[in-house]
Amino acid sequence: MTDSTLPILEGAACPVPMRHDDQIVMGHGSGGRMTQELIERVFAPAFANPILAQSNDFAAFLLPLEAQLHGSLAISTDSHIVSPLFFAGGDIGRLAVCGTVNDVSMSGAQPLYLTAGFIIEEGLPVEMLERIVTSMQAAALEAGVPIVAGDTKVVERGKADGVFINTAGIGWIPAGRQIGGALARPGDAVLISGAIGDHGIAVLSARGELGFDAAVTSDVAPLNALIGAVLQAAPGVRVLRDPTRGGLATTLNEIAQQSNVCIEITEATIPIHTPVQAACDMLGFDPLYVANEGKVIVILPPDQVDAALAAMHRLPYGAEAAAIGVVKPSPARRVLMKTFIGGTRVLDVLAGEMLPRIC
Amino acid sequence: MTDSTLPILEGAACPVPMRHDDQIVMGHGSGGRMTQELIERVFAPAFANPILAQSNDFAAFLLPLEAQLHGSLAISTDSHIVSPLFFAGGDIGRLAVCGTVNDVSMSGAQPLYLTAGFIIEEGLPVEMLERIVTSMQAAALEAGVPIVAGDTKVVERGKADGVFINTAGIGWIPAGRQIGGALARPGDAVLISGAIGDHGIAVLSARGELGFDAAVTSDVAPLNALIGAVLQAAPGVRVLRDPTRGGLATTLNEIAQQSNVCIEITEATIPIHTPVQAACDMLGFDPLYVANEGKVIVILPPDQVDAALAAMHRLPYGAEAAAIGVVKPSPARRVLMKTFIGGTRVLDVLAGEMLPRIC
């Protein structure tokens, strides 16, 4: 039986079945030999570390001695479903590592270990998976947080955007450190570690949905070193949160609600790159609601603002950090913005989906 | 503008947009108000616990005092993609909780906390999500392992089988406990905690792919209590592993390879429920390669077999536990089976996908 859709290998006398080492097929998710081969070929070389090499269904490890004696643990998880898989400044792999490193870091923890769960679509070129996994490993190395456990599943063609990646992470919070969204107090200052909206616009641009090339690069980055530096310089930090989905405005609203305070920001102080603002103006988007993947909101007592900003300015991911607002007692659970023209605008949370799905 | 595909609410004078509280829409994954509402309506009530209620992007917790002073941690992750979402004996929610509770338990750890990441398909009825989440909470309660952090993403219609659920879990391994796939030694005995193949056949039956009703119920169950009892009765246990994807034969092969030993099992001693064997016979499947979700392989020194079996027999999930084989020095990295008719068969790993995808 011949099938003209089957590829013909050079030199082969007749059509042969589709090569399984070039693209993902259902058997790669069977848990059998093909899964083992995929792990050995793609995942193990990239993520190689002694804990992962235990090859069990779990990773076992000791906590750092100091963490054993003092402190608590933080754990977080995030699923990544970005389309396209590659965009200016990053890809789904870098996003999956940085997203969870950052979520764990928002507790004031030092992230220690990551897990990674892959849901791969049948037909994904193995070469593409290798690029993603290589990017994950580069991000994990940059963050200093190894991937110690993983899982691979394969779903039928059309049932995932190439690949979905879930990561979970644990970290160690030093004793006495108290950071959380409910801890903002009137009088505190609100900082942002850099310009907003880059990630969302970069992803839309990569999709060709802007109708023009925005020349914007995603900010996706691991923030654990930046946050460590901020906490050393300004130990009084009360809130750390990364304005991802929903953007700066939605994240500030979450904090205002959890802390039962008003947050007032000043439009003129918010760093926004010119091409991001231009893209938003042209399309009617508000950059305050556009996703970021390498920025952190820092809320802290006013006397530590200078120290925190100086610490951020010394690091590449904090070079454009700025003080953008203050915490007030009322109107509680509201975010207000003093606009360029001197008015005050209420910033609500993002109601539904302003942009096409970007993360 | 009218659109005849929009539903008409009773009593409404004209067509109104689709109700967003009955089914999942893209906005539920925006990170904005609709995401908050979905979390408050569906996830928070089911999973309610003090750590989750912190409402941060991370969960912070103290380890049990004993774990702080002695012992190490285990971490594991698993993505669940079963179709259909509901089947005899379980559903994707119970599977997601039990899968990771069991993977963590395979280290000899006491599982402490879980995270859950949901990738939901647009159009999923909220009622169905509620049933899944309720089932997760029931399984988490049964296992005694709370879900302390989560994440919700929504993908376009067709891009997930209703919902994919990733769970990650951490647990505490008491000091001195050494369990792993590389630790089987010649002379050890091989036990299985009960009958094999129930989960795979139950899922195929729920799909209607058997062409008949197999009357088989999935074995999906949390095994942490069973494993705790085994370890108390038989502290010399060297290997614990659950034969999920790829079934008993594939999992035994993994152990034989990691430990560089031969594992020889005896066909007549392997518990298999009659309807499972009948379904396999009819369809040409081998139950040794069919997935289980509530069984564990225990490898331990022969002098502790009776104690381990007695401990399992006292518990519902171990009532049918049996000794099924022995570990031999050679032929290393092989699994052999003494068959009913007195022959010896080499059991290889599952090469690709024997069955339609079932987990």
Question: Tokens 């659970």 sit at which residue?
Answer: A333
The tokens 């879930």 sit on which residue?
Answer: A166
Partners of residue B149 in chain A, C-beta under 8 Å: 75-77, 168
Q: Which chain A residue has the Cα nearest residue B66?
A: A68
Report pLDDT digits (tens) over B126-144. 999 999 999 999 999 999 9
Q: Supply the pLDDT for residue B102.
A: 97
Contact check, Cβ <8 Å, B61/A75 = yes
Query: What residues of chain B lie within 8 A of the CB of A63, using their CB?
Result: 72-73
Distance from the A221 Cα atom to the nearest Cα atom in chain B, whole angstroms = 17
For the residues B314-330, what does the mean pLDDT come to? 98
What is the signed CA dihedral for A153, A156, A160, A162, rounded to 10 degrees? 80
Give the DSSP per-residue string, A192-228: ESS-SSHHHHHHHHHTT-SSS-----------HHHHH
Residues of A in contact with B118 (CB under 8 A): 79
ipTM of the complex: 0.88
- Any idea of the CA torsion for A9, A11, A12, A17, to the nearest 10 degrees? -10
Q: Which residues of B touch A55 (CB under 8 A)?
A: 181-182, 254, 258
pLDDT at B47: 86
- pLDDT score of A8: 36
b/e A119-129 (16+ beta carbons within 10 angstroms → b): bbbbebebebb
Confidence of residue B92 (pLDDT cuts 50, 70, 90): very high
The distance of B14 to chain A (nearest Cα, Å) reads 24
Beta bridge partners of B121: B155
- Is pLDDT of B59 > 90? no
Reference A327, options A291, A302, A308, A303; nearest CA is A302
Return the pLDDT at B12.
40
Is the Cα torsion angle A48, A168, A200, A356 positive or negative in sign? positive
Nearest-by-Cβ selection for B115 from A77, A250, A351: A77
Q: How many CA atoms lie within 13 A of B134 on its CB side?
A: 8
Closest CA to A202 of A283, A131, A275: A275
Look up residue B168 and give its two tokens.
């990650």
d(CA A238, CA B39): 25
Average pLDDT over every residue of B28-55: 84
Percent of chain B's residues with pLDDT above 90: 68
- CA nearest to B320, candidates B251, B237, B219: B219
Amino acid in the structure at residue A44: A
Nearest beta carbon to residue A30 from set B69, B117, B353: B353
Residue holding tokens 């950090």? A321
Phi/psi for A298 (5° steps) reads -120, 125
Q: Please give the residue of chain B at the shortest CA–CA distance from A24.
A: B352
Q: Which of B78-82, B286-290, B353-357 has the lowest mean pLDDT?
A: B353-357
Contacts of B75 in chain A (CB under 8 A): 58-59, 61, 113, 115, 148-149, 168, 170
CA distance B173 to B71: 5
**Is the pLDDT assigned to residue B91 strictly greater than 70?**
yes
Is the Cβ–Cβ distance between B326 and B187 less than 8 Å?
Answer: yes
**Under an 8 A CB cutoff, do A32 and B250 touch?**
yes
Q: What is the pLDDT of residue B15?
A: 42
The chain-wide mean pLDDT, for chain B, equals: 89
Q: Which of A26, A51, A75, A113 to mutate to test the interface with B (most CBs of B within 10 A)?
A: A75
Determine which helix (DSSP H) or strand (DSSP E) holds B164, and give its type and residue range.
strand B163-173
Please determine, for residue B6, whether its predicted confidence score (pLDDT) is greater than 50: no
Q: Collect the ranges in chain A with pLDDT lower than 70.
A: 1-20, 65-70, 351-359
The nearest alpha carbon in chain B to A109 belongs to B60
Q: Hey, CA dihedral for A209, A220, A99, A46, is it positive or negative?
A: positive
- Assess contact for A256 and A263: CB atoms under 8 A: yes
Distance from A327 to chain B by nearest Cα, in Å?
19
pLDDT at residue A61 in the model: 76
Helices A274-283 + A198-206 axis angle, to 10: 60
Q: Which residues of B touch A168 (CB under 8 A)?
A: 75, 77, 115, 117, 149, 166, 168
Question: How many other C-beta atoms are found inside a 10 Å radius of the C-beta of residue A105?
Answer: 32
B16 pLDDT band, cuts 50/70/90, is: very low
Provide, as residue numbers in chain A, all residues whose Cβ is less than 8 Å from the Cβ of B55: 181-182, 254, 258
**A interface mutation test: which of B63, B153, B155, B166 has the most A CBs within 10 A?**
B166
Residues A55, B170: C-beta atoms closer than 8 Å? no
B68 pLDDT band, cuts 50/70/90, is low
Interchain contact, A79 vs B155, CB within 8 Å: no
Average pLDDT over residues B323-339: 97
Contact between B259 and B341 under an 8 Å Cβ cutoff? The reply is no
pLDDT digit string (tens) for A168-209?
999 988 888 899 999 999 999 999 999 999 999 999 999 887
Residue B268's contacts (CB-CB under 8 Å, 6 or more residues apart) are: B338, B340
Going from the C-alpha of B276 to that of each of A151, B33, B201, B290, the distances in angstroms are 27, 47, 7, 10
Identify the pLDDT of residue B301. 98
Question: CA–CA distance from A202 to each of A53, A181, A206, A212, B109 (Å)?
Answer: 36, 28, 6, 12, 43
Q: What is the pLDDT of residues B158-187, one digit of tens each?
A: 888 899 999 999 998 888 889 999 999 999
Q: How far apart are CA B1 and CA A337, in angstroms?
A: 36
- pLDDT category, B292, cuts 50, 70, 90? very high
User: What is the set of domains in chain B, with CATH numbers?
Assistant: 26-173 (3.30.1330.10), 189-346 (3.90.650.10)
Mutate to test the interface with B, among A56, A63, A163 (most CBs of B within 10 A): A56
Alpha carbon A219 to chain centroid distance? Answer: 9
More confident residue, A44 or B220: B220
pLDDT tier at B353, thresholds 50, 70, 90: low
Contacts of residue B65, defined as CB under 8 A and 6 or more positions apart, other chains included, come to none
Cβ atoms of A103 and B58 within 8 Å: the answer is yes
Q: Please give the pLDDT value at position A107.
A: 92
Query: Taking CA atoms, what residue in A is nearest to B62?
Result: A72
> Which residue in chain A has the smallest CA separation from B30?
A353
The minimal CB distance from B180 to the residues A56, A241, A351 is found for: A56
CA distance B149 to chain A (A): 6
B343: pLDDT strictly greater than 70 = yes
Tokens of A16: 């042969």
